[in-house]
Amino acid sequence: MLTDRSARTLAAYAEFVHTSLTPLLAEHAARDPVPSLLALFARTVREVPAYADFLRTRGIDADQVRTLADFQRLPFTTKPDYVLAYPLAARCRGGTLGSNDMIAVSSGSTGEPTVWPRALSDELAVAARFEQVLHDSFEADRRTTLAVVCFPLGTWVGGMFTASCCRHLAAKGYPLTVVTPGNNKAEILRVVRTLGASFEQVVLFGYPPFVKEVVDAGLAEGIAWPEYGIKLVLAGEVFSEEWRSLLAERAGMTRPLYDSAALYGTADAGVLGNETPLSIAIRRFLASRPEAARALFGESRLPTLVQYDPFERYFEEHERTLLFSGENGVPLLRYHISDSGGVWPYAALIARLSELGFDAEAEARRDGTRGVHALPFVYVFGRSHFAVSYYGANVFPDMVSIALEQPATSPWVTGKFVLEVVTDERHDPQLSIAVELSPRGVAEAESGLGERVADAVLEVLLRLNSEFSHYVPGPRQRPLVTLWPPAHPAYFPTGVKHRYSRK
């Protein structure tokens, strides 16, 4: 029996399958997204009871929202005052969960997991972001590809969403085969050994530290990663360009702009944007130029830099934090996700880089023919509450990551750590870092490894964190580093999403 919902789903799926990606992105780059945004607003007011009430109780007449300026005066929606304030069904189209066919939950990394329903049609905007990576960076439209989903499987959003989107691309005609070992390292390695040689390339999808563990475990077992044409799709956290280079060396990847890509997403709305060869080229240029990074992003540390389609997810910047609007199982408008970051229009960022002597478009095209689209950029530092405050200076986990990726430290550690401020015997604060040893580190670590790690962390903090160098007294700047065996339950328990800081 063909219902209205199934008819709409079939129509949306047919449009997705028959739409070529590159012309679509070119069209979206050339058009004004505001009419589409205002149509989303009107549709949400009409179809979603919670949002209509959210506006009504704040004295807002939705009929008067006719321009972008009107829209930008609307109140933010947040998890406390919208998601948690209204019943789940009231936040869905038609005021019923029946408008959706899948349920996922957030990871709960900042608190109690939250339920996020979606319909198959909602996945198509996210599938387009996967397609952009697979098409532009990996040429998966013409290369047989094994997609290995290394995200945890279950109700969490990452694994099932990734598998679904990859299958949508296979239905579109990509020579793509999906396998879902989840976050089981032994099963991932078995899958690669058994199936990898039958494909021109193998793409690992997962959280950066876990993918690194997979690559390192494979090397320890004698897997010759370069033979499988390894590519990486990463999500969940900021990583450095040193980390990208380190993993490329271990996995035999030789085209840094085209061998890996990060996705920026949330459980709330799936993938919001994705790295492109162009955004990676820009990030690698800035990696050794902290003052240029500060001029562009307000901080010398590097954010994740992605491009996004404003017809699917419309970003705004407010006081160095991000808002987005987009269609979902739970439509969200001016949703404040507490991510620190900002937005750069395409032409403006390219022009600023040119002033710095860098032709980003030419660099992106040097090693490939795809991947340059005139789409806007969004940069993301992550959520500021993941930093720890030490003598008034914010110390961010990604700065510790850079230190652990140096040649003097990386062979002996996994890259996982826990950053916290503890109190010493004199009741003074002490910056403390618990670091997970790699199997090689357990077997071969010299007695001075902890000191080398502390030296590396201190060097990065003094180089990249001006707050730290100016706020923290010199005698208190050196961190206390402790070394722990793999999967130690005190800091690195298995089976849960790792948290890099404690407060």
- Domain ranges, ordered by start, for the chain: 391-484
| Tokens 């699917």, located at residue | 312
Please state the three-class secondary structure of 268-326 as a single string.
CCEEEEECCHHHHHHHHHHHCCHHHHHHHHCCCCCCEEEECCCCCEEEEEECCEEEEEE
303 pLDDT band (50/70/90 cuts)?
very high
Q: Is the pLDDT of residue 401 over 50?
A: yes
pLDDT for residue 368: 76
pLDDT for residue 237: 72
Main-chain phi, psi angles of 281, to 5 degrees = -60, -45
pLDDT for residue 229: 97
pLDDT for residue 191: 97
Q: Is the dihedral of CA 277, 281, 284, 289 positive or negative?
A: negative
Q: Is the pLDDT of residue 359 over 60?
A: yes
Average pLDDT over residues 26-49: 97
154 pLDDT band (50/70/90 cuts)?
confident
384 pLDDT band (50/70/90 cuts)?
low
Q: Is the pLDDT of residue 109 over 50?
A: no
Inter-residue contact 339 to 383 (CB < 8 Å)? yes
Q: Is the pLDDT of residue 110 over 50?
A: no
pLDDT for residue 428: 73
Provide the mean pLDDT of the chain.
91
CA–CA dist 251, 232 (Å, integer): 10
pLDDT digits (tens, 9 = 90+) for 227-282: 999 999 998 777 889 889 999 999 999 999 999 999 998 878 889 999 999 999 99
pLDDT for residue 102: 87
CA–CA dist 260, 435 (Å, integer): 26
Sort 194 into a burial class: Cβ within 10 Å, 0-12 / 13-18 / 19+.
exposed
| CA-based end-to-end distance of the chain | 54
Domain 391-484: give its CATH code: 3.30.300.30
Q: Which of 390, 391, 392 is nearest to 400 (CA)?
A: 390
Task: Tokens for 48, please give them.
Answer: 């979603």
Task: Tokens for 398, please give them.
Answer: 């990604």
